[in-house]
Amino acid sequence: MIIIDGKAIAIQIKKEIVGEVNRIVAEGGKRPHLAAILVGHDGGSETYVAGKVKTCEEVGFKSSLIRCENNITETELLNHVIELNNNPDIDGFIVQLPLPKHISEQKIIEAIDYQKDVDGFHPVNVGRMSIGLPCFVSATPAGILELLKRYNIETSGKHCVILGRSNIVGKPISTLLMQKAYPGDCTVTVCHSRTKDIKNYCLNADIIIAAIGVPEFLRGNMVREGAIVIDVGTTRIPSSETRSGFQLKGDVAFEEVAPKCSFITPVPGGVGPMTIISLMKNTLLAAKKTIY
Amino acid sequence: MIIIDGKAIAIQIKKEIVGEVNRIVAEGGKRPHLAAILVGHDGGSETYVAGKVKTCEEVGFKSSLIRCENNITETELLNHVIELNNNPDIDGFIVQLPLPKHISEQKIIEAIDYQKDVDGFHPVNVGRMSIGLPCFVSATPAGILELLKRYNIETSGKHCVILGRSNIVGKPISTLLMQKAYPGDCTVTVCHSRTKDIKNYCLNADIIIAAIGVPEFLRGNMVREGAIVIDVGTTRIPSSETRSGFQLKGDVAFEEVAPKCSFITPVPGGVGPMTIISLMKNTLLAAKKTIY
């Protein structure tokens, strides 16, 4: 059983990005520039955005943080988006979700220039991904593909069972893994809350991607010997043992499942560290104009 | 066993569209207007486009056919697209595929204003469909959903196995059937050329959608009792028995499979008649500005 070390892979990719940035700057190019819009003071969002800003520094990107209060109007937020769209120094930007209820997330996402949409949430990027065209792939699915690739995990002809049909994980990773590509060429099954006998699907899976948001949903008796398990769950559970006062729980009962697996990602330290680094990779691609 | 009568459903929907058009025109509105660009003289394309023009007449739409020779340049074709984009009388239009090899189909598709893209091939429409937003759904998947709906076929929690991962059928119908909707809420498995033991997946399916392009691929011993089988295959086989000199063959060995099914679509007369009518429905939606 091999524990997939997302943290180590993320550090490795970080080094590769630093190398690229140094090369670009040495050749007189512009330093990649990522901006983030953060609305309000949600604890999770603050942490994520702080992590993104910090990683930008580490890889040598310029970063900008636009902070808005919770009572910002949709029009005001749209104006920030338009400004970033038009700012030639900004290569890519994100609007940290969730947004306050009085603002339409979809409207904001669609206002982002898809050529700067490094989160890969704009319909043009989602559509191009589905068709199999170059695009910004959103961070979590991109991170999963990268882990499979870096560990040389064979995917062709494998049965991949995906738990969850969200727009940011389940649906895109299902599309990506069925493509004629590596990683890909999987027979893909998508299970969700309406699936009957989910255990049976899991027992028939070569690869399980758990993105259902229920802590320890996948138990030892749901996994066959030799399976590859990717845990996308990150539920925050209150905890008195950590400094932050909470603990991250994955969708997989790790202690039970791990002994049966050929490969498994832990939580934390599996898919998590890959998401920020995927955003950095997208920003680099945006700066280099590789995709658009 | 019930044979799903796509021809009858198509006639019924045609009547509904005629009713809507009459109402729009009676209220002083503009008659919906569909345009088609046809490049070259491919037999199949000629037949399809002629069918579309004829159906436009039957439902009371205005139609325009732009014919171009095989040696048209990409730029010239793009100019036709731009003209139709800018023509306020045209509600929707299609560029009949395939195009000659020297023209990039993708470039042409992306040049179409997505608000007039009644074929639903533009990345914006594909992406919005995946996210679950209002959009033009391409004709074949839309036709399949309509058949399931008109026959009140329960889909929630059913295991739907899709054979084929094409951009125009397999991928979009998989996305649609996994959505939280009716028809939808299926557990979806997508099989394709790299799938091992495809028979086993089929035997576990409540619903099979065959879109693999191999005549009579799905045999009687691959289907369980009570299954619902939707046949999207339309391979032309030379035949001395028909006036046209060819015969349409589905992906399903109908004689063997039908007796085991609760519902099955025939070829011809199943999904086929629904595709043109789905295009008409999209054109009506475009004219009414229902989606954009």
What angle separates helix B170-178 from helix A170-178, to the nearest 10 degrees? Answer: 160
Are B171 and A175 within 8 A, CB to CB? yes
Are A126 and B130 within 8 A, CB to CB? yes
Cα gap A263→A3, rounded to integer Å: 6
% residues pLDDT > 90 (chain A): 95
Q: Does residue A224 fall inside a structural domain? A: yes
Q: Residue B173 sits in a domain of what CATH number?
A: 3.40.50.720
| Residues of A identified as active-site | 52, 96, 119
Contacting residues for B16 by C-beta, under 8 A, at least 6 apart: none
Task: Give me the residue from B124, B175, B187 closest to A195, CB to CB.
Answer: B187
Q: Which residues of B touch A (CB under 8 A)?
A: 106, 122-133, 156-157, 159, 165, 167, 171-172, 174-175, 178-180, 185-192, 194-196, 201
Q: In chain A, how many domains are there?
A: 2
Task: Give me the residue from A122, A188, A196 closest to B190, CB to CB.
Answer: A188
Q: Does residue B4 fall inside a structural domain? A: no
% residues pLDDT > 90 (chain B): 95
pLDDT tens figures, B133-176: 999 999 999 999 999 999 999 999 999 999 999 999 999 999 99
Q: Does residue A130 fall inside a structural domain? A: no
Report chain A's mean pLDDT, rounded to a whole number: 97
Tell whether the model's pLDDT for residue A28 goes beyond 90.
yes
pLDDT recorded at residue B242: 86
What strand order describes the sheet that includes A92-95?
A62-68, A33-39, A92-95
| Residue A148 and residue A258 share a domain | yes
Q: Does residue B58 fall inside a structural domain? A: yes
Query: How distant is the Cα of B177 from the closest Cα of chain A, in angstroms?
Result: 10
pLDDT tens figures, B2-46: 999 999 999 999 999 999 999 999 999 999 999 999 999 998 899
The CA-atom distances, in angstroms, between A271 and each of A115, A142, A182, B71, B290 are 25, 10, 19, 51, 40
pLDDT recorded at residue B44: 86
Residue B245 CA from chain centroid, whole number? 24
pLDDT recorded at residue A236: 87
Task: Give me the residue from A126, A157, A174 closest to B195, CB to CB.
Answer: A157
Are B157 and A194 within 8 A, CB to CB? yes
The CA-atom distances, in angstroms, between A134 and each of A233, A280, B54, B99 are 27, 17, 38, 21
| Residue A104 and residue A165 share a domain | no
| Residue B252 and residue B172 share a domain | yes
Q: Does residue A150 fall inside a structural domain? A: yes
Domain extent for B238: 139-272
Task: Give me the residue from B128, B179, B187 closest to A189, CB to CB.
Answer: B187
| Residue B268 and residue B143 share a domain | yes
| Residue A177 and residue A72 share a domain | no
The CA-atom distances, in angstroms, between B142 and each of A108, A273, B145, B282, B290 are 28, 39, 5, 10, 16
User: Looking at residues B240-269, what average pLDDT do you find?
Assistant: 94
The pair of three-digit structure tokens given for residue A28, joined into one six-digit string: 């007189």
The pair of three-digit structure tokens given for residue A248, joined into one six-digit string: 């991250």
pLDDT recorded at residue B267: 97
Q: Does residue A146 fall inside a structural domain? A: yes
Q: Does residue A234 fall inside a structural domain? A: yes
List the alpha helices (DSSP H) in A33-178: 43-59, 74-86, 105-111, 123-131, 139-150, 170-178
Cα gap A287→B194, rounded to integer Å: 36
The CA-atom distances, in angstroms, between A242 and each of A225, A238, A245, A275, B263 are 33, 9, 5, 23, 57
| Residue A93 and residue A161 share a domain | no
| Residue B72 and residue B109 share a domain | yes
User: Looking at residues A262-275, what average pLDDT do you find?
Assistant: 96
pLDDT recorded at residue A242: 86
pLDDT tens figures, A31-77: 999 999 999 999 889 999 999 999 999 999 999 999 999 999 999 99
Quick one: pLDDT band at residue A246, thresholds 50, 70, 90?
confident
| Residue A255 and residue A157 share a domain | yes
The CA-atom distances, in angstroms, between B218 and each of A1, B148, B161, B195, B199 are 39, 20, 12, 14, 9
* Buried/exposed code over A29-61 (b: 16+ C-beta within 10 A; e: otherwise): eeebbbbbbbbbebeebeebbeebbebbeebbb
Q: Does residue A6 fall inside a structural domain? A: no
pLDDT tens figures, B83-118: 999 999 999 999 999 999 999 999 999 999 999 999
| Residue A105 and residue A145 share a domain | no
Quick one: pLDDT band at residue B200, thresholds 50, 70, 90?
very high
Residue with tokens 């593909």: A145
- Bridge partners, residue A252, by sequence: A218
| Residue B157 and residue B102 share a domain | no
Q: Residue B94 sits in a domain of what CATH number?
A: 3.40.50.10860
| Residue B149 and residue B113 share a domain | no
Q: Which residues of A touch B (CB under 8 A)?
A: 106, 122-133, 156-157, 159, 165, 167, 171-172, 174-175, 178-180, 185-192, 194-196, 201
| Residue A69 and residue A33 share a domain | yes
Report yes or no: B236 and B248 within 8 Å, Cβ to Cβ.
yes
Are A123 and B133 within 8 A, CB to CB? yes
Best A192, A198, A201 residue to mutate vs chain B (most B CBs within 10 Å): A192
Report yes or no: B111 and B82 within 8 Å, Cβ to Cβ.
yes
Question: Which residues from chain B sit within 8 angstroms of residue A180, using beta carbons?
Answer: 165, 194
